[in-house]
Amino acid sequence: MKELKDTLWKAADKLRGSMDASQYKDVILGLVFLKYVSDAFTERRTQLREELAADGMTDEQIGLLIDDIDEYIGHGVFWVPEHARWEYLADNAKGLHALNGQAPKSIGELIDAAMDEIMAANPTLAGTLPRIFNRDNIDQRRLGELIDLFNTAQFTGQGPGRARDLLGEVYEYFLEKFARAEGKRGGEFYTPAGVVRVLVEVLEPTSGRVYDPCCGSGGMFVQTEKFLDAHNEDRTAISVYGQELNERTWRMAKMNLAIHGLNANLAPRWGDTFARDQHPDMQADYIMANPPFNIKDWARNEEDPRWRYGVPPKNNANYAWIQHIISKLAPGGSAGVVMANGSMSSNSGGEGKIRAELVEADLVSCMVALPTQLFRSTGIPVCVWFFAKDKTAGENGSIDRTGQVLFIDARNLGHMIDRAERALSDEDIAKIADTFHAWRGTPSAEGKTYENEAGFCYSATLDEIKDADYALTPGRYVGAAEIEDDGEPINEKIARLKKELFEQFDESERLAAIVREQLGRIDV
């Protein structure tokens, strides 16, 4: 699969030409989506034909019923008109010759028309799909070649639904590649998969309403779906709600979730969560979010009822995001929010007082300090705040953690995948999640008992947090990791190390003298 993804990416990259990054992204992701809806349609059409034939119907009878739109929509498949199907586009990848005296059409014109037809046939996609394939800065020859390549790629023959799953993986892969290519701008629509998985694995969303107030391209929802599949849970047991400020990103999210078979409510259009909450009456069972860090210019209203724990400062929206998220939690609900590290200890603009109120309200369940360089788009160190409306023993865990907060210092986890970016392994993510579940006593803890681990985790009381002036930085609580005893007495170790260091100094001086002597012999 990796070879297929890399091949498609290299081919797609040839198309870039004079396009800016955001337009290029829309073109490529739009093609992947078009391939997906067409493959899903063809798969359902084949299945329907087999079902009707098994019922003893003739070819003529099948022909009358096989175009019943409800037989597709009712199975979660978009209706794709004939001239919008991938087979038709692939047959005309070099452009459509003139017919009946009409001017010839380029492949870009055909794709734009296909997007129009699909949106017209499927109202939920209205205004979502890109119509930019016939613009002057798009090389029509290379676009046709890319269609050919997608057509020959081995998506089909993978078993029911597997071809569509592969296209979902390709879409995610392209999102990641675009985010890396766009640097800081890429962080607006993409959260590294490892970071998202920390939130999902800790919260374990299996049923109810899942919400993200700044959903980007929908990564939180996609990882939730993967979590459900991995644990053989019914993906229809969750309802997805999201909101996104950026129009292009909102469109990407709609396509991403459709490819993954998630019926999400992302509101009728994009919009500012602070200025207008598009899900005002919705209370969520799980909230996962990676809000933009340290926003200085935001729609602030001092009278907003969401500021129950204090009015956030004008020049930083961090605590506005936190309080919005808490306001959306249902009784018994829980949330995970990625934040800049400064949010754990800042006292500017009244943030320290708001944090104290949150702690005293016993809403904070766990704080996780993450390693640096997980985000290619920013060098700001990050953490995850976990909130819980109910920490008593019950449905959310068998151990009563009222009046306690778990601190996890995961800064030493992860590995560098290149000079600029770090990633969390499956084992790293499991260590964080397992520690939380053991602390909370969830069924997934599998009988594991929680113990404080110096340098990694510590369960603090609210009194301890108050004594630390309500700072929530894990390093303050977990302490230093215990140094392994190597059996060498400390006095002897110090003497040995001093001797080795002085020997190195002597050797350095000897080599410096040789270099000086050799340089002195050089005639100027």
Listed range (33-37, 75-79, 103-107, 191-195) with the worst mean pLDDT: 103-107
Which among 276, 145, 288 has a CA at the least distance from the CA of 216?
A: 288
Single pTM value for the model: 0.86
Q: Which of 118-127, 165-174, 182-191 has the highest mean pLDDT?
A: 118-127
> Does one domain contain both 176 and 245?
no
DSSP, res 508 = H
> Does one domain contain both 348 and 314?
yes
Structure confidence by residue, pLDDT tens digits, 60-98: 889 888 999 999 998 889 999 999 999 999 999 887 766
Structural domain contains residue 228: yes
> Does one domain contain both 471 and 496?
no
Structure confidence by residue, pLDDT tens digits, 103-138: 678 999 999 999 999 999 999 898 899 999 999 888
In the β-sheet with 364-369, what is the strand arrangement from edge to edge? Answer: 264-265, 238-242, 208-212, 284-289, 329-340, 382-388, 364-369, 404-409, 457-461
The pair of structure tokens assigned to 156 is 């089909």
CATH number at residue 132: 1.20.1260.30
> Does one domain contain both 285 and 397?
yes
Final residue in a domain of this structure, among 180, 198, 229: 180
> Does one domain contain both 276 and 133?
no
Final residue in a domain of this structure, among 131, 147, 180: 180
Final residue in a domain of this structure, among 145, 180, 215: 180
DSSP, res 289 = E
Listed range (368-372, 398-402, 422-426, 502-506) with the worst mean pLDDT: 502-506
11: confidence class by pLDDT, cuts 50, 70, 90 = confident
> Does one domain contain both 444 and 415?
yes
Q: What is the pLDDT of residue 370?
A: 96
Q: What is the pLDDT of residue 346?
A: 95
More confident residue, 1 or 277: 277
Contacts of 238 (CB under 8 A, 6+ apart): 205, 206, 207, 208, 209, 210, 224, 228
Separation of first and last alpha carbons in the chain: 62
Q: What is the pLDDT of residue 467?
A: 97
Q: What is the pLDDT of residue 481?
A: 67
- Spatial distance between the Cα atoms of 37 and 254, rounded to a whole number of angstroms: 13
Q: What is the pLDDT of residue 7?
A: 81
Structure confidence by residue, pLDDT tens digits, 424-476: 999 999 999 999 999 999 999 988 999 999 999 999 999 999 999 999 999 99
Structure confidence by residue, pLDDT tens digits, 463-516: 999 999 999 999 999 987 665 556 677 787 788 888 888 888 888 888 888 888
Structure confidence by residue, pLDDT tens digits, 240-289: 999 999 999 999 999 999 988 888 999 999 999 999 999 999 999 999 99
Structural domain contains residue 233: yes
379: confidence class by pLDDT, cuts 50, 70, 90 = confident
Name the residue range of residue 63's domain. 2-180
Structural domain contains residue 351: yes
Structural domain contains residue 219: yes
**Domain count along the chain:** 3
163: confidence class by pLDDT, cuts 50, 70, 90 = low
Q: Is the pLDDT of residue 99 over 60?
A: no
> Does one domain contain both 171 and 121?
yes
* H or E element that contains 406: strand 404-409
Structural domain contains residue 484: no
The residue type at 236: T
> Does one domain contain both 324 and 415?
yes
Residue 292 contacts residue 216 (beta carbons within 8 Å): no
> Does one domain contain both 197 and 104?
no
> Does one domain contain both 275 and 411?
yes
Q: What is the pLDDT of residue 98?
A: 60
> Does one domain contain both 219 and 97?
no
Structural domain contains residue 441: yes
Looking at the chain, the whole-number percentage of residues with pLDDT higher than 90 is 61
Structural domain contains residue 31: yes
Structural domain contains residue 483: no
Q: What is the pLDDT of residue 483?
A: 56
> Does one domain contain both 231 and 296?
yes
CATH number at residue 269: 3.40.50.150
